[in-house]
Amino acid sequence: MTPALSVKGLTRHFGAVVAVNDVTFDVAPGEIVGLLGPNGSGKTTTIRMLCGLLAPTQGTAEVAGVDVTEDPEIVRHRIGYMSQKFGLYDDLTVQENERFYGSLYGLTRHALTDRIAEVEAFIGLGGRRHQMVGTLSGGWKQRVALACAILHQPPILFLDEPTAGVDPASRRLFWATIRKLAEAGTTVLVTTHYMDEAERCSRVVMLHGGRLIAIGAPQEVAHGFGENMTLEDVFVHLQEQTGEVA
């Protein structure tokens, strides 16, 4: 099976700082993979390179069959991207945000109308379509941001800390939706600091200091650090090494 995402030796320097160092991994179509690591481990830099927003210093990455260095614009039209800040316009309604983002991806007026209706039904936004985004709770904003990210039916979805600051009920609903997308064939790469979410991934890629230090099923990765270790134990250990916790 051809990987949906193929990363080989991906490296990014910022002057003398090596933010991402020789990272290699593949992601299969329809797989949900967690990209984990403490702050400063290189997660967001890696995602920005895979989205075609930042050029690698070395290495290669193919996203949906497209080289991110050779055709970053094509890559950006074949992916969906959602960050913890959501990137929504508070002074527009839910549907106005959807129409704006859909038009950026080249959806025509009639196709966009039909697709918005499909996505709103899938995510459960129908009753909020005319509400100003600025008046929504964090959980509802999260749903709108996801709707905007999948309007153009991207084969790959990048989620950078998408549940940060969102209540537990909204987090559970969000992950149920992600699972449905994956079951329908969408590939998902997600960064998270919540280890209960990481355990819902089919595999996790663990970064530390810009390097890939472990990859595999969540339990497999945890046990690689010690027989009785959990992902939470591993994460706390890495945070301690970087000075994030006392």
- The pLDDT tens digits of the residues spanning 108-121 come to 888 999 999 999 99
Question: For residue 246, is pLDDT > 50?
Answer: no
Could you tell me what percent of the chain has a pLDDT over 90? 79
Query: Rounded to two decimals, what is the model's pTM?
Result: 0.92
What architecture does CATH give domain 5-86+156-242? 3-Layer(aba) Sandwich (3.40)
Q: Is the pLDDT of residue 136 over 80?
A: yes
* pLDDT tens-digit readout, 48-89: 999 999 999 999 999 999 999 999 999 999 999 998 777 899
pLDDT(242) > 80 = no
Query: From edge to edge, which strands make up the β-sheet containing 211-216?
Result: 79-83, 156-160, 187-191, 32-36, 203-208, 211-216
Q: What is the 3-state secondary structure (H, E, C) of the chain?
A: CCCCEEEEEEEEEECCEEEEEEEEEEECCCCEEEEECCCCCCHHHHHHHHCCCCCCCEEEEEECCEECCCCHHHHHHHEEEEECCCCCCCCCEHHHHHHHHHHHCCCCHHHHHHHHHHHHHHHCCHHHCCCEHHHCCHHHHHHHHHHHHHCCCCCEEEEECCCCCCCHHHHHHHHHHHHHHHHCCCEEEEECCCHHHHCCCCEEEEEECCEEEEEECHHHHHHCCCCCCCHHHHHHHHHHHHCCCC
Q: What local confidence, expressed as pLDDT, does residue 33 receive?
A: 98
Contact 106, 69 (CB under 8 A): no
| Residue 227, both tokens | 């027989």
Q: What is the pLDDT of residues 198-233, one digit of tens each?
A: 999 999 999 999 999 999 999 999 999 998 899 999
| Contact yes or no for 233/65 (Cβ under 8 A) | no
pLDDT of res. 14: 96
